[in-house]
Amino acid sequence: MQAQRYADAGVDVRRGYKAVELMKKHVASTMIDGVRSNLGGFSGLFELNLEDTPHPVLVCGTDGVGTKLKIAFALNRHDSVGIDCVAMCVNDVICCGAKPRLFLDYIALGLLAPLKVEQIVKGVSKGCLQSGCALIGGETAEMPGFYQRGEYDLAGFCVAVAEKERIFDPSTIKSGDCLLALPSSGVHSNGFSLIRQVFDLDRDPSLLFHWYEELGCTLGEELLTPTRIYVSQVLELAEKISIKGASHITGGGFYENIPRMLPSGLGAAINAESIKKKPIFSLIQNTGLIPDEDMYATFNMGVGMVLVINREDAERALSLIPDSWVLGEVTDTAKVVIA
């Protein structure tokens, strides 16, 4: 029976039922061995097969998409931000060598629009497929008066499993080790508050539809490019060579994230000329007259993930990940220098 008074207050549970029906096919596409529950229950169940993991360690991560969502609102395009949500979580847990297994999402909206929710979950499912984990549950909350109609927030939670003996060990990092860069797909999901200010998008979102020759697309299309997921590349590389540490370059850019994987007393020397900087970063910098240091402290600048490996393994790593490159090296000076 429909709760009419609840519907009059702005929450119509029938919209929630419709959204669940629409998203079922996308969630089903992510099912992997071990899933023991169906969509619609009060929890997600997963049976771990640990035959190849004698000393399992659970690794968890949670994150959201941030104000990149405002770009999705302005363009009324919602099928890719779910990939960002998954990427921000799985790219974090992969930094210790863990394999993502489970994912749950949380979507809060001012008005639950079933077709919009389906598109969001479609993106989440794509991200789960790319990272090899199952979308085993989530929550969709209709919150009128808290979020404006047409707006929503999106967050996720990931559970991964690592073999204790194979977790990346930053204590083995030493001066002279190689920093290997894996390219980003673009801005990813950080720095959008600054981007919106630089282009004055909150006042005039029409610029999102402007075509830029250097981008080969509109500004909006470029900014909505989904975050690259590094799970398969990092795990496959870890099978071939020793990865000592990994850093997901997110908010805080190079100066904050690279030191997080380094032992106390060590730093990094970055060869700025080696960075395969995408045109979007030059456009942001030139439009906003942003100093280099602020750019490297805010954006990934074309580097989505940095791995620390032995220098003698560099050539093999480059052959295994052809679009990677040597970014620099670890130093015995406890700071990040970009020159």
Give 29-84 as a DSSP string. TT--TTB---TTSSS--B----TT-SSEEEEEEEEE-GGGHHHHHHHT--SSHHHH
- Domains in the chain: how many in total? 2
What does the block give as tokens for 171? 């204590």
pLDDT band of 12, cuts 50, 70, 90? confident
In 10-55, DSSP assigns E strands to none
8 Å CB contact between 73 and 202:
no
- Residue 205: pLDDT above 60? yes
- What CA–CA distance (Å, rounded) separates 10 from 4? 10
Any idea which of 49-58, 79-88, 91-100 has the lowest mean pLDDT?
A: 49-58
Domain match, 159 and 193 both: no
Domain boundary among 115, 144, 166: 166
| Interatomic CA distance for residues 80 and 95, integer angstroms | 23
Provide mean pLDDT across the span 215-225: 98
One domain for residues 310 and 202 = yes
Residue 62 burial class via C-beta count within 10 angstroms: exposed 0-12, middle 13-18, buried 19 and up: middle
pLDDT in the model for residue 10: 76
Query: Across residues 253-269, what is the average pLDDT?
Result: 98
Q: What is the mean pLDDT of residues 204-226?
A: 97
Query: How many Å is the Cα radius of gyration of the chain?
Result: 21
Asked if 329 and 185 sit in the same domain, the reply is: yes
The residue from 138, 166, 194 where one domain ends is 166
- Residue 3, pLDDT above cutoff 80: no
Q: Name the token pair of 120.
A: 């969001």
Domain CATH code at residue 233: 3.90.650.10
- How much is the average pLDDT of 150-168? 97
pLDDT (0 to 100) of residue 7: 77
The residues near 337 (Cβ < 8 Å, ≥ 6 apart) are 267, 268, 269, 270, 331
- The per-residue pLDDT for range 165-197, each reduced to its tens digit, is 999 999 999 999 999 999 999 999 999 999 999
Going by C-alpha positions, the residue among 257, 306, 262 that lies closest to residue 172 is 262
Single out the residue in 166, 186, 217 at which a domain terminates.
166
Residue 1 has pLDDT above 60, yes or no: no
Question: What is the structure's pLDDT at 2?
Answer: 61
Give me the mean pLDDT over the 72-92 stretch. 98
Residue 16, domain CATH: 3.30.1330.10
Instruction: Quote the CA–CA distance of 190 and 227 in Å, as a whole number.
Output: 10
- Does the structure show a pLDDT above 90 at 282? yes
Together in a domain, 142 and 179: no
> Are 92 and 238 members of one domain?
no
CA torsion sign, 77 to 82 to 85 to 90? negative
- Picking from 58, 145, 64, the residue whose alpha carbon sits closest to that of residue 93 is 58
Structural domain harbouring 91 = 4-166
Do 208 and 287 belong to one domain?
A: yes
Q: Do residues 180 and 130 both lie within one domain?
A: no
pLDDT band at 9 (very low <50, low <70, confident <90, very high): confident
**Same domain flag for 65 and 182:** no
Residues belonging to the chain: 339
**What is the rounded average pLDDT for all residues in the chain?**
96
pLDDT of 153 above 60: yes
Residues 50 and 125 in one domain: yes
User: 99 is written with which tokens?
Assistant: 């394999």
Residue 16 has a pLDDT of 87
Least confident of 32-46, 122-136, 261-275, 314-328: 32-46
Are 214 and 276 found together in one domain? Answer: yes
182/310 same-domain check: yes
> Mean pLDDT, to the nearest integer, of 245-273?
97
Answer yes or no: do 108 and 25 share one domain.
yes
